[in-house]
Amino acid sequence: MNAVGVDVGGTKIAAGVVTSAGKILASTTYPSAGPREDLLSSIARAIMEVADGHEVGWVCVAAPGFVLSAENRVVFSPNLHTIEGVPLKEELERRVGLGVTVENDASAAAWGEFRFGAGSEVDHLVFVTLGTGIGGGVISHGALMRGAQGAGGELGHFTIDSKRPLCVCGNRGCLEALASGTAIARRAREVAGERPDSALGTLAAQRKVLGEDVTELARGGDEAALSVLEGAGAWLGIGLAGFVNVFNPEVVAVGGAVSGAGDLILSAARREVRLRARSPSRDLAEIKAATLGAKSGILGAAALARDDAGQYVLGN
């Protein structure tokens, strides 16, 4: 039996029908912008489009924000307010005639990497996704840690330094406020002001600097851009050192758009983990780039689709 995974983001909905071996048989994308009714009908259309002609058991929708997976509901979603509070399971089941469950998008991506990607050989995985924000997921003894309400695994909102910038969640100095793409772009604009003669400074004088510009300039050897990524990598590593101490993972996989910077960020993160995490956990944990890219959301969501008995449709 196959399952449909739906990855709902701030700008688009990606859906795919997935086999138990992790093969995507069909996929599609729709925009997620617009009013609530448009969002619901686009998700439903995406599901029906990919399911057409395939044997499909269940559907899992991975959504951004704080998700109560036990209630199949998103309670807070700073990048997609239209999805907040919607009884997604009921609304979508009525539209598509298939069973639907709801999970956090980063938890789904973590599960995707665990089943089919960077964590497929291990039982203990910490996954961190670096994008506009920072999400995460923890797999321990082969099971996704959800917490009592299913709202756990919010690794991006782990406080790193309480005196640092305000986070979208209202707290100060979260990992997300220091090492996300948004944080990198903000820090790059500061550094550009301090070092106007650098390539970063020159670009900032022409237009607004984005996170991907920093990676591009760093690859070209610009010291200012390199220092920004090194700084973000160090903050990331401080967070990862905590996760390594707490969860004792075999693999820490770093995904998301910012992870495209690769070792420009990960080298500094590994250094901080070596300095700060405790033995034997720090000696075991391998910190590496995730391998599935943007597909981790669809694959992980499909692999988290559960039947009425709570069993994963694609197996464990």
Indicate the residue among 95 and 164 with the shorter CB distance to Zn ion.
164
How much of the chain is helix, strand and coil, in % rounded to 5?
A: 45, 25, 35
Closest separation between CB of residue 171 and Zn ion, Å? Answer: 5
- Total residues contacting Zn ion by CB under 5 A comes to 5
Task: Give the closest residue to 149 by CA, choosing from 95, 102, 111.
Answer: 102
CA–CA gap between residue 281 and residue 155 (Å, rounded): 18
Q: Closer CB to Zn ion, residue 28 or residue 76?
A: 76
Return the number of the residue (32 or 180) whose C-beta is nearest Zn ion: 180
Helix (H) or strand (E) holding 25: strand 24-31
Residue 100 or 155 having the CB closest to Zn ion: 155
Count Cβ neighbours within 10 Å for each residue of 185-197 and write b for 16 or more, e otherwise.
Answer: bbbbeebbeebee
* 195 lies in the site for Zn ion, by CB under 5 A: no
CA atoms within 13 A on the CB side of 306: 14
The two tokens of residue 241 are 């050192």
Q: Are strands 286-289 and 251-255 parallel, antiparallel or unpaired?
A: parallel
Give the residue with the Cβ less far from Zn ion, 140 or 171: 171
Around Cβ 71, how many Cβ atoms within 10 Å? 14
What distance in Å separates the CA atoms of residue 243 and residue 230, rounded to the nearest whole number? 20
Using CB under 5 A as the binding rule, whether residue 73 contacts Zn ion is answered as no
State the binding string over 145-184 for Zn ion (x if CB under 5 A, else -).
Answer: ------------x---------x-x-x--x----------
Does the protein bind Zn ion through residue 202 (CB under 5 A)?
no
Interface with Zn ion, residue 225, by CB under 5 A: no
**Residue ranges binding Zn ion (CB under 5 A):** 157, 167, 169, 171, 174
